[in-house]
């Protein structure tokens, strides 16, 4: 399997070694539900899935139900990921796929301010040896700002508490997605 053929597949592959079943996960950007579905397939006992668009939640529920015949392990939350602490107090795995809903309204995008808050909040409730994987898209103006701000935040994280890695597709055109991986040491 070519894990770097698809950024989403690479993000999922990076998560797998950090999973100790049963685990609790957060999908900070539900979209069409593909990350949530993959987390369920990996054995999540619970996934908190956030999106601000009713249509995204509707599509995701349908996609996940068709694949699993159940959606009982998922809390679909119609709210911004910046409000995650209102719903979740501890997680083992987090995934964010920033930008806008594929095929959706491109004017409805994640933003630097809300994503930074969400990532900081995730890191505050992430279990030791937990992982947060963030897919960044800089093919639009807000995405450029969001990527720069998030990378600067990651660079400033305590070296004694976190490890951070950054993956770029260096021979691709048209602003391919990039991945930031943060693991919690203590």
Confidence bin at 169 (pLDDT 50/70/90): confident
The C-alpha atoms of residue 38 and residue 172 are separated, in whole angstroms, by: 25
Confidence bin at 47 (pLDDT 50/70/90): very high
Question: Which tens digits make up the pLDDT trace of 97-129?
Answer: 988 656 656 667 778 799 999 999 999 999 999
Q: Cis peptide before 60, with omega less than 30 degrees from 0? A: no
Structure tokens at 106: 């491109």
- Per-residue confidence (pLDDT) for residue 112, from 0 to 100: 79
Q: Domains plus CATH for the chain? A: 25-184 (3.40.50.150)
Q: Look up the pTM and report it.
A: 0.91
The C-alpha atoms of residue 23 and residue 58 are separated, in whole angstroms, by: 25
- Per-residue confidence (pLDDT) for residue 106, from 0 to 100: 60
What end-to-end distance do the CA atoms of the chain give, in Å? 33
């Amino acid at each position: 399997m070519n894990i770097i053929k698809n950024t989403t597949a690479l993000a999922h592959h990076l998560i797998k070694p950090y999973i100790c079943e049963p685990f609790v996960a957060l999908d900070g950007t539900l979209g069409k539900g593909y990350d949530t579905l993959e987390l369920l397939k990996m054995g999540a006992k619970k996934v908190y899935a956030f999106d601000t668009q009713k249509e995204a939640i509707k599509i995701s529920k349908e996609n996940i139900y068709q694949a699993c015949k159940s959606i009982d392990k998922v809390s679909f939350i119609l709210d911004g990921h910046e409000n995650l602490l209102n719903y979740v107090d501890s997680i083992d795995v987090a995934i964010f796929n920033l930008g806008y809903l594929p095929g959706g309204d491109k004017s409805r995008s994640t933003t630097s301010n809300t994503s930074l808050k969400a990532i900081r909040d995730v890191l505050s409730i992430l279990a030791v040896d937990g992982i947060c994987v963030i897919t960044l898209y800089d093919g639009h103006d807000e995405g450029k700002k969001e990527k720069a701000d998030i990378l600067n935040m990651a660079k400033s994280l305590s070296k004694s508490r976190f490890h951070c890695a950054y993956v770029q597709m260096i021979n691709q055109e048209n602003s391919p997605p990039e991945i930031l991986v943060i693991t919690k040491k203590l």
